């Protein structure tokens, strides 16, 4: 059976598509066009998938049809000459935007499935990767190869076709962001690609000049954004009507079953030639090479078209050299033909009326264009129609190629020719003469040629090249720090000066050149991320010496305490939520009323940081009741638990009070390196001093200009005190910045100069030339501010869709940015809301970097409690949490009864539960007591089942125990992300639990993810990005002023400096003009820090609020770091 198929269309749920692009209209226009099989498009969009499920029913295997209730009324409106059966095939186009091999790649891919079940599985997989609700063609920060793998995992019958493979901006082989070969993109899965789509700007002869494409059939489709555009390109099959026969014809390339394609004239496509739309410049590839790819009018980069790119990759002069020829026919839409005949627009009433008359008399449009008898066409009351159609069939057309998003122009009649053919001058208006546009008609008449070469056998020419830069080696200052003698050393290292690199080389130098045992080297960092990065670098330098200890301060304390206190029975480190619960219990036990647990917990934390001993030093408690402190510590002891402050508090007390333990640690760690020394607190400082007496091999590195943790007890004074603590200390300053461009570094340095705590001998310098001015935007509202950021990122990525490029929202001067190159930084988490809403609406992949989204999100606290139970380290809080989440018939009354029972016994909940097997529990009936005991038995069985398994496997068992589903729809759940994180820990459950207990916001950040990072400035410390947006730069927000709380202006200034110096190439500040703060709508002044550097900023014009946003700004509640 011969039939026509259009396998690439969109729905009304895609951007820039007709709002009536629904199944009724597709069914209607498919018949009028003469199409038998039409893609559904967009099945990943929930609303469209629901419509597919509602309106379509299975037909032939793997194909669907419109239900009779919907099809019947539509069929009555179709001309009888066009009526035919229409089938639908499940399809979607995915926009993959990601970094690979150091470049941003933007590739569009078509995916097909034979059934709704496979499509549903695919949707659920993609929901966990990115936003599939905002656009029918979802944007994912996912490698194309991985998308293909997911499709095959969802169904081995999936078809996968890279779309419009030559389009400059979004395609497999595109000049702007594609690859040079199919294998570079898809690697080991290349053989699973079904076919390749030519796109509107190329045809089979152009493609067959590239021998690397020989293994695949070439398909052509409309990529229709309105139903009337269906069939402008299509595929011709002669096989049975089913999904599997279609796939087999494409995979085998059997010319008896896949006959060929209907094509645009490639010159009609909007990316065929080279050019620059803004300057009205159209060029052929040879001229573009001569101009070095620059616009002759303005000097901006040209958009190099498909013909240029084909020439670049071609290894054949023409299709004749290809052993695999493919039949194709070039067509022009009937409306276009009629428009030229009538010398009017294709959407005018006259053209539409003639169009309907032709279809009524002859049949579907494609049949008219391909094989309608010209005699029959001549009999219609449309003079020249038969002649025009004959000319199209013979290829006798005049062509002006499209370029840079502008469609090409096609002429069928030369000037005066219509009048001659008709024999009368006045019947129709004379058409405007078609002449190829010269390059820059008004501005650069001499720059271009009069005609674009239509030959496709041009020799390949070299690709336009870009300059390259080499990574620096150790500079003299870094080398001086690395090779300094093993004695006290203070390294002052500003942002981007290679701090981690210097520490890693210092550790390697101690081992390699000075003979230190790896086990004698200790490197202490502030974050898990910094520890991981430093450990990785040291391992690369010392591949055979893995004994160097790299740990955060808290992890070091945990390690030492575990070695001394946890030998017989493990202890656990409690979460912040459990800490507050224990404080509340301690206050109740002491009979203290009216005190807020959070405020008391903060006082306890400050006291422990000062290593407070209530009996010996009562004044250091800052009003903290010693009895409450002791009660709290007693509860921790009964639960074999420590809070995070204890990890340093107890370690320092042991080091200072037990000489044997201190000397043992000093002998163990003969060489100590401390990162971020400007942010040490009292307990951390005392730990370093205890480990490193006078003359010790201690290297402390940091930057007092980046001291930003005073609110957590850090004291930058310890940094400046280093040279007094160790009078023999050597000081080395690193001043060469390898991160930020000169303008960014200069502006940031001016901000921090006021009130500096350490005057450097030499200011920071980078020597990296400015690429982009620093910009300030003043949108009207927080909503408009968020939209401004999203629009700017879309522009800088080079657009996320063809619509972005063609509409001008994205600039043609595309940078090589991927989504993972961007960060949006805020002073307080309250600003996350409007920003995340704007990103979600845009479809741009993003992540909110916040530990609450991972370790603290449900059901993960209960999962972690079950892991602690399996390690025999569960606290009363863990047990109560498990009881509440697992339920199993255990209600709140039963839990309270068990808590009372444990209090009477003076035992933990776990031990009380064990006693409940043989003793009655006061106040609880036998039936609920049995349910409690049964739950305890089930927990024991679960613990046994967990033995010998990896952490990830244990989490899955815990999830099953709690009834957590892995297959539920929606974005990737916190439970699933926790499981992924666990894979890094193998079977080391204790280490995973320590990591989760000590994790901070930045530990939830995945630097490998192809997503925009939205985070607080504190979380961004230690990170760097190509482009940084700092939002909420308003007085009162940055610097932050909290009512009733004294601020630290110096620390706010340093925090602003940290924000600015996260940027490599692009730095932008935004500040809303009005915002609701504490219930009041206020006019907002820009941050005084920006006012100080106003001469460094370029201010953008204000951007109004987006149309589809919730009205009004967002109420703010402040949440720190």
Q: Is the pLDDT of residue 501 over 90?
A: yes
Tokens in use for 97? 């935007």
Among 1021, 1020, 1001, smallest CA distance to 855 is for 1001
DSSP state, residue 550: E
> From the DSSP assignment, how many helices (H) and strands (E) are in the chain?
43, 34
Q: Is the pLDDT of residue 279 over 90?
A: yes
Taking only the tens place, the pLDDT of each residue in 935-969 is: 999 999 999 999 999 999 999 999 999 888 654 44
Taking only the tens place, the pLDDT of each residue in 708-754 is: 999 888 999 999 999 999 999 999 999 999 999 999 999 999 999 98
| Domain chopping of the chain, boundaries | 2-264, 478-568+658-734, 575-638, 774-853+1005-1099, 860-998
> Dihedrals φ, ψ of 330, to 5°?
-90, 130
Question: Rounded distance, CA 437 to CA 280, Å?
Answer: 9
Taking only the tens place, the pLDDT of each residue in 201-249 is: 899 999 999 999 999 999 999 999 999 999 999 999 999 999 999 999 9
pLDDT top residue among 194 and 269: 194
**What's residue 592's pLDDT?**
82
Question: Rounded distance, CA 27 to CA 43, Å?
Answer: 17
Taking only the tens place, the pLDDT of each residue in 339-370 is: 999 888 898 999 999 999 999 999 999 999 99
**What's residue 180's pLDDT?**
95
Taking only the tens place, the pLDDT of each residue in 863-882 is: 999 999 998 889 999 999 99
**Count of alpha carbons within 13 angstroms of residue 188, beta-carbon side:** 2
Q: Which CATH number fits domain 478-568+658-734: 3.30.430.20, 3.30.70.260, 3.40.50.2000, 3.40.50.300?
A: 3.40.50.300
Task: Give the residue-averaged pLDDT of 1063-1091.
Answer: 91
Strand 1025-1030: give its sheet, edge to edge. Answer: 846-848, 1012-1016, 822-826, 1025-1030, 1063-1070, 774-777, 1097-1099
Residue with tokens 């081995």: 156
**What's residue 449's pLDDT?**
35
Q: Is the pLDDT of residue 305 over 70?
A: yes
Find the range with the poorest average confidence among 772-776, 819-823, 1042-1046.
1042-1046
Among 1092, 1120, 1084, smallest CA distance to 784 is for 1084
Name the class of domain 774-853+1005-1099.
alpha beta
Taking only the tens place, the pLDDT of each residue in 242-276 is: 999 999 999 999 999 999 999 989 999 888 999 99
Question: Rounded distance, CA 478 to CA 917, Å?
Answer: 66
Environment class of 85 (CB within 10 Å of its CB; exposed 0-12, middle 13-18, buried 19+): middle
> What proportion of the chain, given as a percentage, has pLDDT over 70?
90
Taking only the tens place, the pLDDT of each residue in 128-161 is: 888 888 888 999 989 999 999 999 999 999 999 9
Task: Give the residue-averaged pLDDT of 589-593.
Answer: 85
Kind plus residue range of the DSSP H or E element containing 228: none
Task: Give the residue-averaged pLDDT of 661-686.
Answer: 97
Name the class of domain 860-998.
mainly alpha
Confidence of residue 1081 (pLDDT cuts 50, 70, 90): confident
What CATH architecture does domain 2-264 belong to? Alpha-Beta Barrel (3.20)
Residue 227: Cβ within 10 Å count? 24
Decide if 610 contacts 683 (C-beta within 8 A).
yes
Taking only the tens place, the pLDDT of each residue in 966-1021 is: 544 456 688 888 998 899 899 999 889 988 888 888 887 887 778 999 999 999 99
Environment class of 469 (CB within 10 Å of its CB; exposed 0-12, middle 13-18, buried 19+): exposed
Chain centre to alpha carbon of residue 908: 45
Average pLDDT, the chain: 88
Decide if 176 contacts 798 (C-beta within 8 A).
yes
- The CA distances from residue 508 to 48, 486, 494, 551, 934, in Å, are 58, 13, 22, 16, 56
Residue 473: Cβ within 10 Å count? 8
Question: Rounded distance, CA 580 to CA 559, Å?
Answer: 24
**What's residue 815's pLDDT?**
55
Question: Rounded distance, CA 1096 to CA 35, Å?
Answer: 59
> Dihedrals φ, ψ of 724, to 5°?
-85, -35
Quickly list H helices, 371-440. 374-378, 385-394, 417-422
The model's pTM is 0.77
Task: Give the residue-averaged pLDDT of 1035-1064.
Answer: 91
pLDDT top residue among 108 and 466: 108
Q: Is the pLDDT of residue 637 over 80?
A: yes
Residue with tokens 């085998």: 252
Cα angle, residue 1047 at apex, residues 1044 and 1049 outer, rounded to 5°: 150
pLDDT top residue among 176 and 651: 651
Taking only the tens place, the pLDDT of each residue in 784-816 is: 999 999 999 988 886 555 444 444 444 434 457
> Dihedrals φ, ψ of 749, to 5°?
-65, -35
Q: What is the DSSP string of 281-350?
A: EEE-HHHHHHTTTB-TTT-PBPB--HHHHHHHH--SSSGGG-S---EEEE---HHHHHHHHHTS-TTSHH
Decide if 484 contacts 698 (C-beta within 8 A).
no
774-853+1005-1099 and 478-568+658-734 share a CATH fold = yes
Tokens in use for 111? 């995916």
């Amino acid at each position: 059976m011969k039939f026509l198929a259009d396998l690439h269309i969109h729905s009304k749920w895609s951007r820039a598509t007709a709002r009536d692009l629904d199944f009724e209209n597709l069914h209607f226009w498919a018949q009028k066009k003469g199409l038998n099989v039409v893609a559904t498009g967009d099945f990943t969009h929930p609303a469209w998938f629901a419509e597919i499920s509602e309106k379509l029913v299975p037909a032939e295997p793997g194909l669907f049809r419109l239900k009779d209730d919907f099809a019947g009324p539509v069929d009555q409106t179709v001309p009888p000459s066009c009526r035919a059966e229409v089938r639908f095939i499940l399809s979607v186009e995915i926009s993959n935007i990601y970094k690979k091999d150091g470049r941003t790649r933007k590739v569009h891919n078509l995916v097909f499935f034979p059934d709704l079940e496979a499509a549903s599985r695919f949707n659920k997989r993609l929901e966990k990767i990115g936003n599939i609700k905002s656009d029918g063609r979802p944007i994912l920060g996912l490698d194309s190869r991985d998308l293909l793998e997911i499709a095959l995992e969802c169904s081995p019958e999936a078809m996968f076709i890279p779309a419009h493979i030559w389009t400059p901006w979004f395609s497999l082989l595109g000049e702007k962001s594609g690859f040079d070969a199919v294998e570079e993109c898809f690697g080991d899965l290349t053989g699973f690609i079904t076919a390749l789509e030519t796109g509107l700007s190329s045809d089979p002869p152009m493609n067959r000049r590239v021998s690397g494409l020989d293994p695949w059939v070439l398909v052509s489709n409309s990529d229709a954004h309105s139903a009337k555009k269906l069939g402008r390109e299509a595929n011709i099959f002669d096989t049975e009507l089913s999904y599997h026969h279609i796939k087999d014809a494409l995979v085998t390339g059997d010319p008896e079953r896949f006959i060929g394609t209907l094509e645009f004239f490639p010159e009609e496509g909007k990316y065929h030639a080279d050019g620059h739309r803004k300057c009205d410049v159209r060029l052929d590839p040879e001229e573009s090479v001569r101009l070095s790819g620059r616009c002759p009018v303005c000097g901006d980069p040209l958009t190099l078209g498909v013909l240029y790119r084909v020439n670049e990759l071609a290894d054949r002069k023409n299709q004749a050299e290809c052993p695999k020829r493919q039949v194709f026919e070039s067509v022009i839409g009937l409306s276009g033909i009629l428009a030229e005949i009538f010398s009017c627009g294709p959407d005018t009433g006259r053209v539409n009326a003639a169009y309907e008359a032709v279809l009524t008399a002859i049949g579907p449009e494609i049949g008219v264009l391909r094989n309608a008898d010209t005699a029959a066409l001549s009999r219609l009351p449309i003079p020249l129609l038969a002649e025009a159609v004959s000319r199209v069939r013979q290829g006798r057309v005049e062509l002006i190629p499209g370029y840079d998003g502008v469609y090409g122009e096609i002429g069928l009649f030369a000037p005066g020719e219509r009048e001659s053919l008709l024999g009368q001058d006045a019947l129709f208006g004379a058409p405007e003469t078609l002449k190829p546009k010269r390059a820059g008609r008004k501005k650069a008449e001499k720059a271009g040629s009069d005609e674009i070469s239509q030959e496709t056998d041009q020799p390949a020419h070299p690709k336009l090249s870009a300059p390259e830069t080499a990574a620096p080696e150790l500079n003299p200052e870094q080398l001086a720090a690395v090779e300094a003698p093993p004695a006290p050393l203070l390294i002052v290292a500003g942002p981007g000066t290679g701090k981690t690199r210097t520490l890693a080389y210092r550790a390697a130098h101690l081992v390699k050149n000075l003979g230190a045992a790896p086990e004698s080297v200790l490197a202490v960092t502030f974050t898990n991320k910094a520890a991981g990065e430093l450990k990785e670098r040291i391992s690369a330098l010392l591949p055979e010496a893995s004994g160097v200890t790299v740990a955060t301060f808290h992890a070091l304390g945990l390690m030492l305490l575990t070695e001394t206190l946890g030998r017989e029975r493990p202890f656990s480190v409690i979460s912040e939520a459990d800490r507050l619960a224990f404080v509340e219990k301690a206050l109740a036990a002491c009979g203290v009323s009216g005190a807020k647990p959070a405020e008391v917990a903060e006082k306890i934390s400050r006291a422990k940081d000062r290593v407070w001993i209530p009996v010996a030093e009562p004044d250091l408690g800052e009003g903290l009741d010693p009895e409450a402190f002791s009660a709290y510590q007693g509860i921790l002891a009964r639960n074999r638990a420590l809070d995070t402050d204890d990890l340093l508090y107890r370690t320092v007390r042991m080091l200072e009070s037990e000489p044997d333990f201190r000397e043992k640690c000093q002998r163990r760690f003969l060489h100590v390196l401390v990162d971020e020394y400007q942010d040490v607190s009292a307990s951390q400082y005392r730990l370093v001093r205890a480990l490193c007496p006078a003359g010790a091999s201690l290297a402390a590195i940091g930057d007092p200009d980046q001291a930003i943790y005073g609110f957590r007890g850090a004291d930058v004074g310890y940094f400046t005190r280093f040279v007094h603590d160790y009078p023999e200390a050597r000081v080395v300053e690193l001043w060469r910045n390898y991160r930020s461009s000169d303008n960014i570094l200069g502006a940031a340095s001016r901000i921090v100069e006021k009130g500096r705590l350490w005057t450097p001998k030499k200011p920071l310098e980078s020597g990296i030339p400015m690429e982009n001015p620093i910009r300030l935007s003043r949108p009207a509202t927080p909503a408009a501010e968020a939209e401004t950021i999203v629009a700017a990122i879309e522009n800088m990525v080079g657009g996320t869709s063809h619509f972005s490029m063609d509409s001008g929202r994205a600039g043609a001067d595309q940078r090589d940015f991927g989504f993972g190159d961007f960060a949006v930084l805020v002073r307080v988490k309250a600003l996350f809301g409007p920003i995340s809403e704007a990103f979600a609406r845009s479809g741009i992949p993003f992540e909110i970097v916040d530990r609450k989204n991972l370790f603290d999100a449900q059901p993960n606290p209960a999962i972690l409690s079950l892991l602690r139970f399996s390690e025999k380290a569960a606290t009363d809080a863990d047990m109560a949490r498990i009881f509440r989440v697992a339920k199993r018939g255990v209600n709140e009354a039963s839990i309270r009864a068990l808590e009372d029972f444990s209090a009477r016994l003076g035992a933990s909940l776990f031990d009380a539960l064990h006693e409940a097997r043989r003793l009655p529990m006061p106040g609880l009936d036998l039936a609920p007591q049995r349910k409690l005991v049964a739950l305890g038995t089930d927990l024991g069985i679960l613990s046994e089942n967990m033995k010998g398994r990896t952490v990830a496997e244990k989490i899955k068992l815990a999830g099953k125990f709690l009834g957590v589903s892995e297959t539920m729809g929606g974005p990737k759940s916190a439970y699933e992300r926790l499981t992924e994180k666990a894979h890094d820990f193998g079977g080391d459950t204790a280490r995973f639990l320590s990591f989760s207990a000590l994790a901070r916001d930045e530990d939830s950040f995945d630097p490998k993810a192809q997503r925009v990072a939205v985070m607080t400035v504190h979380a961004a410390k230690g990170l760097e990005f190509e482009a940084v947006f700092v939002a909420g730069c308003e007085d009162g927000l940055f610097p932050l002023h909290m009512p009733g709380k004294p601020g630290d202006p110096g620390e706010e200034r340093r925090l602003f400096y940290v924000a600015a110096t996260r940027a490599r190439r692009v730095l932008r500040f935004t500040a809303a003009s009005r915002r609701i703060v504490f219930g009041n709508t206020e006019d907002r002044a820009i941050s005084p820090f920006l006012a100080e550097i106003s001469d460094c900023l370029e201010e953008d014009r204000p951007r109004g609020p987006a149309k589809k946003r919730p009205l009004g700004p967002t109420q703010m509640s402040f949440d720190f770091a």
